[in-house]
Structure 1
Amino acid sequence: MAKVTISLDSDLAIEVMLLAGTRSPQDAVELIVRDYLARGHRTEARTGNVADQDRLADRRSAPEEGR
């Protein structure tokens, strides 16, 4: 996997390290990004993705029958 170098404000890096419970800013940022992505995948699994929204929007805009 390719590596990317990112510059962060030192205060932000320290907060991330404290939140993640690591001693390395690189490890802390990696853990937080992995967690963010995992949460996104869990949310998509529960709610569907963008393609599902288009499919469901057609149902909601149609008038209800039998009223």
Structure 2
Amino acid sequence: MPFVNIKTPEGALSQGQKAEIAHRTTEMLVEYFTEAARPHTMVLIEEVKDGGYTRADEVFTIPQEYRAKD
């Protein structure tokens, strides 16, 4: 069973964007593992809260211009 775990800043993606990422990721894996993998493919998109991780030793918060626009 292919399993993909994507972590993204909370609020960076709309529901539609998450659905598209899941669909396109599944399609890519089917290309590698054949159609038999489709019903067993898991794509998990985890949203990390602002301040929940660091980049270059600084606590990261997503800039407003990068937040999803629903």
The alignment's TM-score, normalised by the length of structure 1, stands at: 0.37
- Structure number with the higher helix fraction is 1
Greater relative contact order structure (CA < 8 Å, 6+ sep): 2
Report the structure number with the largest CA radius of gyration: 1
The alignment's TM-score, normalised by the length of structure 2, stands at: 0.35
- Structure number with the higher strand fraction is 2
